[in-house]
Structure 1
Amino acid sequence: MEISIAAIGVTIGIILILLWMKWHYSKEINRLKGEVKLFRNANEYQAEAVVVFSADYEVFSANRAARKLLQLKPYEENMIPPKEILLQVGQSDIKSLFEVIDEQGKITEGTIHLKKVTLTIEKSVHHVNLYID
């Protein structure tokens, strides 16, 4: 009789511990789900390449998509892109990105919006819309 009471007590104790563990870890899992959702949402904005160039045409800052596009090494900043960046606006001649920025800056004040531009880096061709501030 004493053994069965002890066995019931141990069983109840184990069940309580398991229920507590389930409750405790489910809170942790829900918190992690929220962080994963936040991380996924943050990565959605990485599809648009954003680059900040200095006056000397060095990369001051670039997000992940821009680093991939410009073939920059991760965590390196204040560097000149290793490959020449060429642009073709409409049917015009192919020019360097920085030449186009200088020309458009003289024509347009404020934000420059170039639609359906062909961007070529080495042999990689991309059709993009450019917004230049």
Structure 2
Amino acid sequence: MLGGMSTFTAAEIAYLHEQPLARLATVGADGRPQVKPVGFLLDPDTDELVIGGYAGSGMAGSKKFRDVLANADVALVVDDVADVDPWTPRGVEVRGRAEARTAGGEDVGKRLGAPFDFDPAWILVRPRRIVSWGIDGSSYSVSARDTSRVG
């Protein structure tokens, strides 16, 4: 956490903890975008997002992993529809810089309480901009802010 304050609001943290699935957008070395569904965990100590594959999945060989190696700029979207009547979409978009790490995934997954054993390779996302809707206000009230992270 930065200066003792979280990058995320309390309501965003609660929402991220209750959602098991996100979509990770990456751009490959060829300049082409890709979006993939991923499981993720919020690290409460650092306010960073952790994406791990299940043990034996070969995360290091995945396109998303190779994309992060080629271009660290990513976006991660976590969203759902809280109710359909009235229509109540909500979500959090995190834009940031990612790191593709080839080791340590098993320990990170255990420390964060992952529901499965992590592959050694994993992806770390450091938020730079957070956009949320339907979390701290109505579904049509968007909150957008830059974090104080650099690099």
- Give the TM-score, by structure 1 length: 0.32
Q: Give the structure with the higher percent strand.
A: 2
- Give the TM-score, by structure 2 length: 0.29
Q: Give the structure with the higher percent helix.
A: 1
Larger Rg: 1
